[in-house]
Structure 1
Amino acid sequence: MNWYLAALKNYAGFGGRARRTEYWMFTLVNFLAIAVLVGIGMAVETMVPYYLYWIATLVPALAVTVRRLHDTGRPAWWLLIALVPFVGGIVLLVFLATQGEAAPNKYGANPKSAPLAA
């Protein structure tokens, strides 16, 4: 949960790098929250809570994805590869799952060398 909250606190931070753990834990908690909200929405026949949550987490999700791409040494423009039908999403998934560069790159120092700020 700390990784999710850390990504939300850095909601508009498109600079720097994000570890795989930060990205995937944010994605997991986000997916679970969406699943719960969709279930609630189907039960009460309104999807308003889902839409509100989706709008609230759109920018943090984009920011942590961009930082994750930065950790692998790729610019944010690589996010657009997801628009390529069929293979684009798979290529982006591979980029997001790839281990980050061990050495500092042009986006900052290795996030593994600094502990998560509480």
Structure 2
Amino acid sequence: MKSFFKVVEETGNYEGRATRREFWLFNLWYYLILFVFFVLEEMFVSLKPYLSSFYILSFIGTNICLNNRRLHDSGRSGWWQLTGLIPLVGWLIFIYFMVQPSDKDNEYGPSIQVGPEKNKNGHPSIETIN
């Protein structure tokens, strides 16, 4: 849940980078909370879809900022979010971009790689094991 609030605090920040972990943990919590709202709306018909609609609308800016920073982490411009608007295949292209590994230092900032450094074969280097 800490990762969810960290991303919410970053709302409005279109610069910098966001790791895959940050992106996917935020989305996990986002959709779990949305599911709870859907269940509550079904249980209490008087709520109608107001609760979930308000929740979705209130997080549009947060999602755009996070997507932008995630694309920066893989070396792409935030404008690549618009690929999601392409009928039928747009969301597949967008998901492909989101699962790409972090790029090394690029024009959007230094690498924020988490975990042990890897050698050219993809194995942890000896310095990080000790």
1:26 Cα deviation after fit: 0.5
Partner of 1:41: helix, strand, or coil? helix
Partner of 1:112: helix, strand, or coil? coil
Larger Rg: 2
Q: How does 1:1-118 map to 2 (within 5 A)?
A: 1-45=1-45, 46-101=48-103, 103-112=104-113
The structure where helix makes up a greater share of residues is 1
- Tell me the matched-pair count: 112
Q: Percentage identity across aligned positions? A: 27
1:83 Cα deviation after fit: 1.1
Deviation sequence 1:46-83 (CA, Å, 0-9, x none): 12111121122111111111100000100011111111
- The alignment's TM-score, normalised by the length of structure 2, stands at 0.82
- The alignment's TM-score, normalised by the length of structure 1, stands at 0.90
Structure scoring higher RCO (CA < 8 A, sep ≥ 6) equals 1
Q: Quick one: distance in 2 between partners of 1:96 and 1:18?
A: 10
AA at the equivalent of 1:35: F
The structure 1 segments of at least 4 consecutive aligned residues displaced by more than 3 Å after TM superposition are none
Q: Quick one: distance in 2 between partners of 1:25 and 1:70?
A: 18
1:111 Cα deviation after fit: 1.9
Q: CA RMSD in A?
A: 1.1
Q: Quick one: distance in 2 between partners of 1:55 and 1:76?
A: 20
